Structure 1
Amino acid sequence: MAQSHPEWLTAIVVIGFLILATFVAMGGDGFTGRVAGAGAEGGIAMRINPGEVRNAPGLYRGAWHHDTLIGSYLDGSASHGFISTGYSRDDRKFSIGTASSGNLDDATFVSVFTIVGGKVGILTESPAAALDVAGTVRGDAIVSDGDVCTSTACVNDLVARVTELERQVKALEVAASQR
Structure 2
Amino acid sequence: TGRRFDFLGNFPLEHVNQKEGSVMLVDDYGHHPTEVDATIKAARAGWPDKRIVMVFQPHRYTRTRDLYDDFANTLDQVDILLMLDVYAAGEPVIPGADSRSLCRTIRQRGKLDPILVTEPGKIAAVLAQVLEDNDLILVQGAGNIGKIARTLADTKLRPVLSEDN
TM-score (structure 2 length as normaliser): 0.27
Larger radius of gyration: 1
Q: More helix by proportion, 1 or 2?
A: 2
Q: Which gives a bigger RCO, structure 1 or 2 (Cα 8 Å, sep 6+)?
A: 2
TM-score (structure 1 length as normaliser): 0.26
